[in-house]
Amino acid sequence: MTDQLYQDRIVALAKAKTGAGKLTAPTKSARRDNPLCGDRVIIDVRLDDGGKIAEIAHQVRGCLLCQASASALASVAVGRNAAGIEKVRLDAERAIGREEGEAGEPFAAFAPVRSHKSRHECVLLPFEALKEALS
Amino acid sequence: MSFDVSAVRRQFPILSQIIDGQPVHYLDNGASAQTPDAVLDAVRVYETTSRANVLRGVHRLAERATEAYENARVEVATFLGVDPMEVVFTGGCTAAINLVAYSYGSLLRAGDRIILSELEHHSNIVPWQLLRQRSGIEIDVVPVTVNGRIDLNALPRLLTPRTKLISLAHVSNVTGTLVDVHAVVTLARTVGAKVMLDGAQRAPHGPLDLPAMGIDFYAFAGHKAYGPNGIGVLWAKAELLEAMPPFHGGGSMIGRVTFAETTWAPPPRRFEAGTPPIGPAIGLGAACKWMRGLDWKEAHAHEMALVERLMDGLQKIDGTALFGPGSTQNRYPVLSFLLDGVHPHDVAQTLDSFGVAVRAGHHCCQPLMDRFDLDGTTRVSIAPYNDNTDIDALLTGVQHAARTLR
Ligand SMILES: Cc1ncc(COP(=O)(O)O)c(C=O)c1O
């Protein structure tokens, strides 16, 4: 074996399935597909009066990286508005080397994806779906 | 077995590479196969001794280039068992199918019907949908059985007097299944429909006798058949090519051009507008010659022995399932499998860390994936240069994925 893309922390995030499922009464939902690999993410959010996320759920039909990313995102999304989610996305992009700077938790766990360019979109797909749901 | 796989391997320089301390276990031949010295040498000889444009010059390099290009056509024709004047060089398999959908398609009328199958590659679906938009033809779809075979029992009731063409994958790029050509041709004849085969996954496994198959059109890609990229082939019966208008317009495909009217060159040049991919065509000619030099009875037996080893090994790993036939009959060495609880991309990525190259995903067959409600599969596609070590490395990787990713 040559590399450790699937490090324990990423596998653990995926297995935790934080936020996996649907909301019964979402304020908004959005679905994003990656036509290249067929990954698909549906995100439901319930927003409070200030436009902040009160509840979030995701259904991922995709690879482990996409599942881990959705799970990590759900674990830090509550209480954030669109701008707050952009900060989390910056962490994810820093972790995979798309942006300069040090990534905060929990996305620092995605550093092993850095050298696998073909998998970057797997990590970012849940952010794309959430961005649409919040727009 | 007398098949000397190491002698074959030695002809493929890329296979002796060590990457990050690991040998290359290349099992993604269905996407693109590797290329032997014979092909590399033929291209190099052209580029270093005969490089010039074809059909246009009187100087000696132009004459050499034209001769080499036309010799390549003869090599391809010999490989297919056909007349060289029926062989059209295209940019690829996709380009060849688009050519038929456009040029033969322009002879069809609104309400005419064509038949495809549920397991077709997008390149044998979308060109027909474009034709449907242009001219109002109808598309009928033959379903696929649970074993990943085109269900020919369902074909008769799709046939109508308006059915003009049946276009099917000769061998599936997902399940490796071989279509029963004789049955298709026999049924097609009852309504006078033409038959086209997408041979992308069959051509890499040895010479063909297209006239004996009774079909009308055949397409394949050079890069999957040990040749260069950027070249493909369309074969069609002479009378069909003769009746078809051009696809692209430009140099070389004309008889005489005036602004009032232009006449077309006879086939195959009518369909080769502009400067063709000369070096790649010469390389493909060399690849066809190289393939003819193999003993395919032995090579096929070798490939299928590897499929058996693979199927046996997968069976021993908990949670694996084949998608496609569980036997080695009427199929070629392309095999898809699933690992319960692990996404195909994660299987393929894990295999890469063991030096094993496979393909994962929908394989440009989304309708087939939808039909079986699959996210995708992991696909192993085997060539004559693969050996037991390739299969064993793959099985080790799948075991590792099963252990660590679920
Ligand atoms: C069955 C089948 N048809 C057509 C194609 C298209 O070939 P190309 O992309 O080389 O034009 C492929 C290759 O992916 C294939 O497997």
Query: What share of chain A in percent tops pLDDT 90?
Result: 90
Reported as a single tens digit per residue, the pLDDT across A48-97 is: 999 999 999 999 999 999 999 999 999 999 999 999 999 999 999 999 99
CA distance B287 to chain A (A): 30
Give the architecture (CATH level 2) of B5-31+295-404. Alpha-Beta Complex (3.90)
Residue B364 bears catalytic tag = yes
The answer to whether residue B58 scores a pLDDT higher than 90 is: no
> Which residues in B have their CB inside 8 Å of a CB on A?
20-22, 342-346, 349-350, 353-355, 361-362, 366, 369, 375-376, 400, 404-405
For chain A, what percent of residues have pLDDT higher than 70? Answer: 98
- Which residue in B393, B383, B394 sits closest to B337, CA to CA? B394
* Per-residue confidence (pLDDT) for residue B183, from 0 to 100: 98
Residue A36, pLDDT score: 78
**Residue range B288-296: mean pLDDT, rounded:** 98
Ligand 1 atom, smallest distance to B91 CA: 11
| CA angle B240–B157–B194, rounded 5-degree value | 5
CA of A97 to the centre of ligand 1 (A): 34
Its CATH architecture, for the domain B40-292, is 3-Layer(aba) Sandwich (3.40)
Q: Average pLDDT of chain A? A: 94
* Protein residue whose Cα sits closest to atom 16 of ligand 1: B173
A120-134 vs A82-95: helix axis angle to the nearest 10?
180
A11 contacts B349? CB cut-off 8 A:
no
CB contact under 8 A, A2 and B376: no
CA gap A35, A42 in Å, rounded: 15
Looking at the predicted structure, is the pLDDT value of residue B1 above 60?
Answer: no
Residues of B in contact with A5 (CB under 8 A): 349, 353
Question: Ligand 1 centre from A10 Cα, in Å?
Answer: 35
Decide if A6 and B21 are in contact by the 8 Å CB cutoff. Answer: no
pTM of the model: 0.94
Predicted pLDDT of residue A1: 65
Token digits for B217? 């059109």
Q: Considering only the top CATH level, what class is A8-134? A: alpha beta
Task: Give residue A34 CA to ligand 1 midpoint distance, Å.
Answer: 21
Which neighbouring-strand residues pair with B116? B141
Domain regions of chain B by residue span: 5-31+295-404, 40-292
DSSP class of B252? T
- Tens digit of pLDDT for each residue in B213-251? 999 999 999 999 999 999 999 999 999 999 999 999 998
Give A97-121 pLDDT, tens digit per residue: 999 999 999 999 999 999 999 899 9
pLDDT above 80: residue A2:
no
Per-residue pLDDT averaged across B61-83, rounded? 97
Beta strands B232-236 and B254-257, pairing class = unpaired
CB contact under 8 A, A38 and B405: no
> A6 and B404: CB-CB below 8 Å?
yes
Q: How far apart are the first and last CA of chain A?
A: 43
Residue list, ligand 1 pocket, CB within 6 Å: B 92-94, 121, 123-124, 169, 173, 198, 200-201, 221, 232, 364
Q: Please, which residues have CB within 8 angstroms of residue A83's CB and are 6 or more apart in sequence?
A: none
Confidence of residue A3 (pLDDT cuts 50, 70, 90): low
Please tell me the distance in Å from A52's CA to the nearest CA on chain B. 33
Gap between the Cα atoms of B270 and B87, Å rounded: 11
ipTM: 0.86
Residues B317-351 pLDDT 10s:
999 999 999 999 999 999 999 999 999 999 999 99
Q: Which residues contact A60 (CB under 8 A, 6 or more apart)?
A: A20, A39, A40, A41, A66, A67, A70, A126
Residues of A with CB under 8 A from a CB of B: 1-3, 5-6, 11, 36-39, 61-65, 116, 119, 122
Beta strands in B110-230 (DSSP E): 113-117, 138-142, 163-169, 194-198, 217-221
CB B145 within 8 A of CB B197: no
> Where are chain A's structural domains?
8-134
**Torsions phi, psi for A3 (to 5 deg):** -150, 170
Residue B322 Cα, gap to closest chain A Cα (Å): 19
Question: Which atom of ligand 1 sits closest to the CA of residue B224?
Answer: 10
Task: State how far the Cα of B263 lies from the Cα of B253, in Å rounded to an integer.
Answer: 9
| Residue numbers in A near B394 (CB within 8 A) | none
Query: Is residue B2 pLDDT above 80, yes or no?
Result: no
* Shortest CA distance from B400: residue in chain A: A1
Can you give the pLDDT at residue B252?
84
What pLDDT, on a 0 to 100 scale, did the predictor assign at position B223? 98
**Atom 14 (ligand 1) nearest CA:** B31
Mean pLDDT of chain B: 96
Rounded Cα distance between B123 and B164, Å, is 19
Cα of B223 vs centre of ligand 1, distance in Å, is: 10
SS3 state at B368? helix
Tokens 């908990």 locate to B318
Q: Which of B29, B364, B368, B381 to mutate to test the pocket of ligand 1 (most atoms within 8 A of CB)?
A: B364
**From CA B202, how far away is CA A94, in angstroms rounded?**
45
Give B-chain residues touching A65 at CB under 8 angstroms.
Answer: 346
Protein residue with its CA nearest to atom 15 in ligand 1 = B200
Mutation probe of ligand 1 site: the residue of B93, B128, B233, B334 with most atoms within 8 A of C-beta: B93
| β B138-142/B163-169 pair status | unpaired
Q: Which residue has the tokens 């060539």?
A: B383
B56 confidence band (pLDDT: 50, 70, 90): confident
